[in-house]
Amino acid sequence: MDITPLPEITHQSLRIRRPLPLDCGVVLDGVTIAYRTYGTLNAARSNAVLVCHALTGDQYVAETHPLTGKPGWWNRLVGSGLPLDTERYFVICANVLGGCMGSTGPRSPRDDSHAEPWGIDFPPITIQDMVRAQKMLIDELRIERLFAVIGGSMGGMQVLAWAALYPDAVFAALPIATAAYHSAQNIAFHEVGRQAILGDPDFREGRYWEQGVIPAQGLAVARMTAHITYLSEAALSRKFGRRIQGGSDVGGALFGERFAVESYLEHQGSSFVRRFDANSYLSITRAMDFFDLAADYGGSLAAAFRNTRTRFLLVSFSSDWLFPTAESRAIAHALNQVAANISFVEIVSDKGHDAFLLDEPDFSRTVAGFLAGSAVAAGI
């Protein structure tokens, strides 16, 4: 298995002129945010849509990835004539703070005078920190109000944080397959992944680059564990069942035959370690674990959205057990408490949490219709 990290390339990015104060108290200077845009900003600067990516996603939402060569992760949703129509909207997607695709994160130099990367010493960040960094990017692009902010999973957490932190800067919010806090079960799965990374001998206390190695085994196991949570029993049965696929050269007779699902997971793990930084994975999973929007508002999620004029579309997927429909419904009820304008649907799918990234015609139609209706209301 080839685990050579993919070469580092230069990403389109912007250096934020203002310092970024983090929730942990540290102030970051010279933050860089890597981002991509699609479509054209109109004269009134009113048609911008911010796409927030999930845990292991990045800014290459609607184009071939320059490193992996894979199609954009939401190229079913973003593009000409698609629900996020780039003929109509100016779509922005930024790599999150803490990421490893060009934005400031554990792999970035500590500051201008120290070329050494932050590594494991990168300050703990929160979902809200990510959103504040995005807001600075939006300010730099001289966009006062986003027509819409959309994202799934961790991207959905960012959408919720956007609506809470900057209600006047968000006309429409689309939190997809997400929750207003990270559940104990989800934290538990993250912790299994983190322990795999921390226990890898090549982790070298987070300073693996000094020896020219990466904790590939640990990161791959983390990815494999997480990947199971993105699927569903039905989807795994449909795709793999108990099919046998080839043998393994390790373990002799015990692993003489391998299940197809094993090979699939191994492939997911090995391709992931080539593109993702282990310290970034630790940093971002921690940010998700810390997320509890209501806690910032005295334990009341409704208080986070008091007086909101943002229009919301909540979408969940019936077989998603990582961010089940009940979590979206809880957000809907909090929004009801402040009489917010909300649409809420559960899309029937057997594809689990991953459904938000896959071909789900009802989901596409729902997003397209909601955005079109919101565009009428926004006058764009």
Least Å distance, CB 369 to another protein, is 4
Helices and strands: H and E segment counts in the chain: 10, 14
Least Å distance, CB 340 to another protein, is 9
Q: Please give the angle made by the CA atoms of 306, 309 and 311, to the nearest 5 degrees.
A: 115
Which of 289, 290, 356 minimizes the C-alpha distance to 320? Answer: 356
Among 139, 202, 292, 346, binds another protein (CB under 8 A): 346
Check if 320 is active-site.
Answer: yes
Residue 191, interface with another protein (CB under 8 A)? no
Q: Of 266-325, which residues contact another protein (CB under 8 A)?
A: 311, 313-314
Q: How far apart are CA 375 and CA 371, in angstroms?
A: 6
Among 209, 294, 337, 350, binds another protein (CB under 8 A): 337
CB count in 10 Å sphere of residue 258: 16
Using the contact rule CB under 8 A, the part of the chain among 58-66, 185-193, 267-275, 338-346 near another protein is: 338-346
Q: Which residues contact 76 (CB under 8 A, 6 or more apart)?
A: 82, 358, 359, 364
Q: Of the listed 232, 320, 328, 354, which one is catalytic?
A: 320
Among 44, 250, 253, 376, binds another protein (CB under 8 A): 376
Residue 260, interface with another protein (CB under 8 A)? no
Integer angstrom CA distances of residue 227 from 181, 192, 262, 265: 20, 12, 12, 8
Residue carrying structure tokens 């300010």:
139
Q: Which residues contact 30 (CB under 8 A, 6 or more apart)?
A: 15, 16, 104, 111, 112
Q: Classify residue 25 as left (phi > 0), alpha (psi -120 to 50) or beta.
A: left
Among 343, 350, 378, 380, binds another protein (CB under 8 A): 343
Residue 244, interface with another protein (CB under 8 A)? no
Total residues at interface with another protein (CB under 8 A): 27
Is the CB of 241 or the CB of 369 nearer to another protein?
A: 369
Residue 188, interface with another protein (CB under 8 A)? no
Residue 339, interface with another protein (CB under 8 A)? yes
Residue 348, interface with another protein (CB under 8 A)? yes
Using the contact rule CB under 8 A, the part of the chain among 154-162, 227-235, 289-297, 341-349 near another protein is: 341-349
Check if 153 is active-site.
Answer: yes
DSSP letter string over 303-367? HHTTT---EEEEEEETT-SSS-HHHHHHHHHHHHHTT-EEEEEEE--SSGGGGGGS--HHHHHHH
Check if 168 is active-site.
Answer: no
DSSP tag of 141: T
Among 30, 341, 350, 380, binds another protein (CB under 8 A): 341
Catalytic residues: 153, 320, 353
Contacts with another protein by CB under 8 A lie at 311, 313-314, 332-333, 336-339, 341-348, 362, 365-366, 368-370, 372-374, 376
